[in-house]
Amino acid sequence: MSLDIKAVMACLPHRFPMLLVDRVESLHPDQSIVAIKAVSMNEPYFQGHFPDRPIMPGVLIVEALAQAAGILAVESLNLRGSGKLVYFMAIEEAKFRKPVAPGCLLKLEVGFLQRRASVCKFAGRAMLDGVVAAEARFTAMVADATS
């Protein structure tokens, strides 16, 4: 299964400038997802990170992985339109191996490590041309949206 930007937006509450998944290339419910973030010089953080050598902040790479995991959880648990959200709870073993610059297509590969009723654990890696740029394990919780 693949998802275009409209389907991505139906799964996630994020919007510009915090929507960090542009499309889903493949999604295997209950297993894994491969999504794409097209990194553009128009991203607002590049003005200050860093003006002479623009680099995507590592925390935003991890956020992109978490958003891909959110889509995987929403589709695997049939949460689309339910009013439930997937909240980030923990980040573990984050490693940053290669800078991500404007013009890159960041491939976000995420899989389930563990799945319970309301808490899921994931492993993810962000790839640039087949090379690991960043990787992390993280935990998320499914809960009602709060006002």
The residues annotated with a catalytic role in the active site are: 49
- Tokens 């991500």 locate to 100
Nearest to 64 by CA among 83, 77, 50, 45: 45
Q: Which two tokens stand for residue 67?
A: 């958003």
- CA angle at residue 42 from 122 to 107, to 5 degrees? 30
